[in-house]
Amino acid sequence: MLRHILLAALLVFSSFAYAGKRVSASDESIMPTNDDRWTTWPWSLAQPFPWEDIQGLWKVETGDYVSYFAFKVVKQKTSGGRQLEVKQIDGTTRKVLATGPGFETGQMVLAQMTSCGGSTYRVRLTSFKPENSPQPPLMSNLYKGSVMVLSIGNLDAPADEMVDLQITKVSSRFRFNQESCSSK
């Protein structure tokens, strides 16, 4: 419990340090420009996070926005708990756009992402039962356990201003040591 409080405090305090640096025009492919599908997800019905099935490559798309997210489960050195290493990959160029650590808080994982251009933003991953989805569930052949929702937005934006999109698993395998921002 104390670990969760410390991790949440770390994310909050680091958010204040970067709050002034929003996603810049040079990083425009990081976030969708709009979300025409306004949907209220039943956050109170979130399911336990699927740690056993999350690792791999996932795809999110809306309109002409396509992005991939690679997730790798790693152990925290200090507590031995789980942490999610996250990479966002451009849907067209397949280049890494941003990286960041994700920490479980409640029934979701919050990640603070830093783009190759230095902008910071947040990503939230949440799992729902298919019958609790307010949209037709997007399920993949690789993962049918739940509906995964990826929320993306500026660090200082309220949760209700984040863009919420379903995300589907496209591969269980992903070489996580591939290109990073520094190797561009």
Instruction: For 50-77, write each residue's pLDDT tens digit.
Output: 999 999 999 998 888 899 999 999 987 7
Distance CA(161)–CA(173), nearest Å, equals: 32
Question: Does the pLDDT value for residue 172 go beyond 50?
Answer: yes
Domain with 55 in it: 2-175
Confidence of residue 36 (pLDDT cuts 50, 70, 90): low
Q: Which of 140, 137, 112 is nearest to 124 (CA)?
A: 112
User: Is 126 a domain residue?
Assistant: yes
pLDDT band, very low/low/confident/very high, at 99 (cuts 50, 70, 90): very high
Contact predicate 103/7, CB 8 Å: yes
Q: How many domains, in total, are found in the chain?
A: 1
Q: Is residue 184 part of a domain?
A: no
125 is a domain residue: yes
Q: Quick check: is 127 in a domain? A: yes
Nearest Cα to 11, choosing from 94, 134, 102? Answer: 102
Compute the chain's Rg from CA coordinates. Answer: 15
2 φ, ψ (degrees, to nearest 5): -65, -35
pLDDT tier at 100, thresholds 50, 70, 90: very high
Residue 146 falls inside a structural domain: yes
**What is the Cα–Cα distance from 16 to 22, expressed in whole angstroms?**
12
Question: What CA–CA distance (Å, rounded) separates 64 from 33?
Answer: 10
Give residue 6's pLDDT band: very low, low, confident or very high (50, 70, 90).
very low
Domain assignment present for 182: no
Select the more confidently predicted residue: 124 or 10. Answer: 124
Q: What residues contact residue 55 under an 8 Å CB cut-off, 6+ apart?
A: 71, 72, 73, 172, 174
For residues 46 and 126, is the Cβ–Cβ distance under 8 A?
A: yes
What are the tens digits of pLDDT across the range 120-140? 999 999 999 999 888 887 776
Estimate to the nearest angstrom the gap between the alpha carbon of 60 and the chain centroid: 10
Q: 111 in a domain, yes or no?
A: yes
Whole-model pTM: value is 0.78
Residue identified by tokens 């109170």 is 44
* Residue 20 and residue 120 in contact, taking contact as beta carbons nearer than 8 Å: no
